[in-house]
Structure 1
């Protein structure tokens, strides 16, 4: 694992801040100063930052956050925009997000202090449920793509302007329910498993339709419930059990 990643995952420092610490000669591996940013390491090595040894986390906690619109899921922003870490208490600054919600989206975001748990959740097949409001009506072509999937050679509309992703394959939705379909706007509840880069915005963008509101209300075994925007809670006992069972199952089938 890259050295800056180990530092970021196990301290309050971002990867960029970790890079600066490495450049300044404040990071050591097995007692030797390391200044090469491409250096890789593991916890079989003794890694220290500014004289303090890093230890790999053995236990973990999972935080549920109801992300409001207008926050980036990032530790830092070059343009000075607000991030989730500006809102979260400082004691959660080392927590990692399970995937992302873009700046204009809201709803359920999971954060965890274990990189391995974050990776298992991000790369698993847990269902994500969203409420999507679009500028226009739900067309038969959209419904067919929801049911059967879609290959979009040009999936740039709805994506970030700086994204290098042009084409995208959209898997069939696990489920969908049209709540309202009107010429001016429509609302649909959708369930997907992948959550690719701005997947839903790109999906509807392919049909020249803008997503004006997007809210995630469920991620696998965790529901947003009555949690208010900007508020947090930890997983409950039954949720932790379901999470442990899920991770154990994914480990078994990958062996």
Structure 2
């Protein structure tokens, strides 16, 4: 099974591979590629659209880059404060999480995002494949929010049933996404509901960009504070802002079990698709 799963690994762009497995950002990786300092399977590549797959041999400045294995993975919890970007480098020189994280985590990949004005639990890993699996998963994400104004029945109905919106209220000013669909929330708990401001705890299974800000923005409610307190059963607990911790053994065990199940499900889906295509073409 493991060999079959390995063959099913998807290709990724070379700059993403370099960013995940070295200290360089994707922009810096692009410059390295363009300058002819990267080799794939013994050949210098300068094409930024180059993709690599499992088994490809990648060299940077003449040295092989060893990709991280899921079996060797390390995952950390970071309590991100407001005012930090979840990126390696910012062209405007703004503070990023990597300015605060210990240097030994410079090559770790964030699992999902929290925007500049948001805070709370952020998972990071040294395994790009693990990051990809968890980002695409529907694992529960739990947030505490403070919004301007009251929580209405229409908002509760949308949380219970899901909805599709058009418009960019609550989105980043440079966002080009005009429409967004929201699945029903896993759960929500209204902690305070008053005309000036309200507090609510929500559990969702998606990680779309500024999803909650856009959800409440649709109802003309500004999100004043957004604090993620857990992801996939991994919680902040009493971790201070700006600090990190390793996962507990139980958290690792649960994570390994989830990843194994996801891999097997992905393999079976690919196999069924391939069999169906072969039957249609026969």
TM range (shorter): over 0.9
CA distance in 2, matches of 1:32, 1:143: 57
Aligned to 1:138: 151
1:17 to 8, 28, 48: 28
After TM superposition, the structure 1 = structure 2 runs for residues 101-180 of structure 1, keeping only pairs within 5 Å, are: 101-154=114-167, 156-180=168-192
Task: Determine whether 1:51 maps to 2:68.
Answer: no
Native 8 Å contact 1:149 1:172 kept in 2: yes
Q: Does residue 183 in structure 1 map to residue 198 in structure 2?
A: no
- Structure holding more helix per residue: 2
In 2: Cα distance, 1:125 partner to 1:30 partner: 36
* Whole-angstrom CA distance in 1 between matches of 2:27 and 2:120: 27
CA distance in structure 1 between the aligned counterparts of 2:248 and 2:174, rounded to whole angstroms: 39
Counterpart in 2 of 1:38? 49
Q: Per-residue displacement from partner, 1:52-88 (whole Å, max 9, x unpaired)?
A: 1111222110010000000000111111110001111
Unaligned ranges ≥5, structure 1: none
Structure 2 unaligned blocks of 5 or more: 1-11, 269-282
The 3-state SS of whatever aligns with 1:163 is: coil
Query: Which residues of 2 match residues 205-244 of structure 1 at below 5 A?
Result: 205-244=217-256
Partner of 1:7: 18
Q: Is the 1:98–1:111 contact (alpha carbons within 8 Å) kept by the matching residues of 2?
A: yes
Query: 1:168-212 deviations in whole A, cap 9, x for unaligned?
Result: 111111100100011110000000001211110000000011000
State whether structure 2 residue 96 is matched by structure 1 residue 80.
no
So what's the TM-score if we normalise by structure 2? 0.88
**Distance in structure 1 (CA, Å) of the matches to 2:184 and 2:252:** 29
State the distance in 1 between where 2:234 and 2:20 align. 23
In 2, are the aligned partners of 1:151 and 1:170 still within 8 Å (CA)? yes
> 1:244 & 1:171 partners in 2: Cα distance?
26
Cα distance between partner residues in 1 of 2:201 and 2:161: 17
- The 3-state SS of whatever aligns with 1:172 is coil
Q: CA deviation at 1:43?
A: 4.3
Aligned pair count reads 254
Deviating more after overlay: 80-89 vs 34-43: 34-43
Q: 1:65 aligns with which of 69, 78, 81?
A: 78
**TM-score where L is the length of structure 1:** 0.97
